[in-house]
Amino acid sequence: MSLTETITIPQVGFTYNLPIGLFINNEYVASADGKKIDTINPSTGEKITSFYAASEKDVDKAVKAARNAYENVWSKMPAEERGFLLYKLADLIERDKSKLAALETLDAGKPYHSNALNDLDQIIQLTRYFAGSADKYTKGQNIPLTHDKYALTFKVPYGVVGQVVPWNYPLAMASWKIQGCLAAGNTIVIKPAENTSISLLYMAQLFVEAGFPPGVLNVIPGLGSVAGTALASHQDVDKIAFTGSTQVGQKIMELAGKSNLKAVTLECGGKSPAVVFDDAKLNNAVEWVANGIYYNSGQNCTANSRIYVQETIYDEFLAKFRTYIKDNWTFGDKLDPFDEKCTLGPVISEAQYKKIRAYLDHGANEEKLNSEKLSEFPTKSKGYFIPPTFFTDVPSSSKLSQEEIFGPAAVIAKFRDYDEAIKLANNTNYGLASAVFSENIRTTNKFVRDIKAGTVWVNSSNDEEISVPFGGFKMSGVGRELGESGVDAYTQLKSAHINLADYN
């Protein structure tokens, strides 16, 4: 029974002994029932490989490994030493940066030069950030109470943490969760998305090379309905952290509550607005807004998929927006994400392709909206390529304005004044991110105050920083990641009352 498969990516000249087993207790193992999942190259529609899929029994095995590592090794290790291991991991990720990025391009369709390598740069930066935080962000405080009494608070790890990550940023979203969680002193069982598991499986061996003890990190790819459900329901998992759709996030929260009432962090969907006022630097706004919706083929929870432009500059914005997209967003010459000219890769799967096409057809045919495709659907490819698309003069009641399309498609509408702009921007069940463009400091600060979203970008969009907390309002989630919150999210407070007085 082979637990590796040799694959070659000729565009970059890399050959891999690719692990295809579950990663439990620092070893790759077959699943208990031997079931596998095929993973598909979205730029060709062809199979890359098959990897083992975790069953409920495998999830239990991984949780037991994580519990043993936590109780006997990891919880007793000095925080500074945990930080040293994360620093070693960062160096190894940097060493293998190109190989890891190439796997992301192969498996997720990310343009190699303009997207996948950027993701790895952030992961390296993030790993070093959390390495440095391991012995800094977990400190409590001394609370003086009376002459004879004081209290101490401690930030302590939860213990065993289950994590479920999505397919749009396989390694980045995993790293947002793993590195801060380990810095806080927890052990992990993580389930990658079933259609983008191979990059995290490959990276898992770097944790062994860096010196992480067995059981500290366990990677269990599998179906959400099987492995994800088992992880969220497990009685010996102390916390669950999830990134993905709002619908699945609701299910995760339900399972957590029905099992052992484990703590939950959710980062879910979004329908983020970008609001452009007539005093904005228009070229700057056009560039940021276009990048904010078409980067990663629009497969971003924070994609500014609703664009509101003040009516006095609406036509000018559309003209510049149209030109910028044509000049900068292309499939490349070969419909190959490894092509240096490729800035817009395929969407992740045939199912996602059909879902996005259904939204585009609905907007054009059912709602009779004005739509523009800045290139045509490739007809000679078996890949899942969708051209950059936008709809104009779209009412806020439109299905396209209210539902997350999760593809390279935006809706654009005009507004009269600030009051109408903020009303339109807040007219959504989501609240993950937002952007505002204006040179008026009063306007931008009012927007920051009034928008109901966890992140507000002023004169930019989708340029998150690893030191700044990230998370959503409303149905976009619960809790925060990154920054100091990226460690705090994986700790709970313990209080101790210290009495010095005799009992009377």
Residues recognised as catalytic: 267
Q: Give the other-Cβ count within 10 Å of 377's Cβ.
A: 12
Residues 6+ apart with CB under 8 A from 88: 210, 211
Strand partners, 430: 474
Determine contact, residues 106/383, Cβ cutoff 8 Å.
no
Give the C-alpha separation, 395 to 416, whole Å: 14
Radius of gyration (C-alpha) of the chain in whole angstroms: 24
Which two tokens mark 447? 């927007």
User: 406: helix, coil or strand?
Assistant: coil
Give the C-alpha separation, 227 to 242, whole Å: 13
Give the C-alpha separation, 295 to 103, whole Å: 18
Annotate 441-450 with b (16+ C-beta within 10 A) or e (fewer): eebbeebeee
Give the C-alpha separation, 135 to 314, whole Å: 51
Give the C-alpha separation, 425 to 304, whole Å: 11
Strand partners, 494: 154
Which two tokens mark 265? 């962090």
